[in-house]
Structure 1
Amino acid sequence: MNFVYITSLLLQSPDGIPKPGNNEPLDLQSWSEVIIYILIPILLIVFYFVWRKNRRNRKR
C-alpha cells in the first residue's frame, strides 16, 4: 500500500516548478526582480488607497 501511495505522489510532481530544496533568495542587484517583487506591489498598495480615498470622497 505504501508503494502505491509513494508512486502516486512521485507521478504528480510536475517538472519545471520550483521546489523548496532549490529556491534561491531574491537578487536585489537585478533591476527586474526589484521592479517585480518590490516596486509593483508597493505601487499597487498606494494606488489602492488613493482609489479608495477618491471613491469615498465622491460619495459625500
Structure 2
Amino acid sequence: MQIPTDIPKPQNNSPIDPSSPLELIIFIALPILLIVVYFVNRKRVRNKRKKK
C-alpha cells in the first residue's frame, strides 16, 4: 500500500516565515483580531442586556 505524497506530514512542513507578510497576517494578526472582536462583541451584548 503506497502513501500519497501530497498528504501533509509533520516532518515535511516548514515553519512560519516571519519575512512573509501574508503569513504574518494569517497566523498572527488575524487570530488577534478575532479575539479582540469577540471580546468587544461580548461586552456590547452584555451592556444591551443590562439596559433592558
TM-score normalised by structure 2 residue count: 0.84
State the match for 2:48 in structure 1: 58
State the match for 1:45 in structure 2: 35
Root mean square deviation, CA, Å:
1.4
TM-score normalised by structure 1 residue count: 0.74
State the match for 2:10 in structure 1: 20
Q: Give the ranges of 4+ consecutive aligned residues of structure 1 lying more than 6 Å apart after TM superposition.
A: none
Change beyond 3 A, Cα 1:28–1:55: same
Give the % identical residues. 54
Q: Which amino acid aligns with 2:26?
A: I
How many residue pairs are counted as aligned between the two chains?
A: 50
State the match for 1:3 in structure 2: none
2:23 maps to 1:33: yes
Deviations 1:17-53 (A, max 9, x none): 3211101110010000000000000000000000000
More helix by share: 1
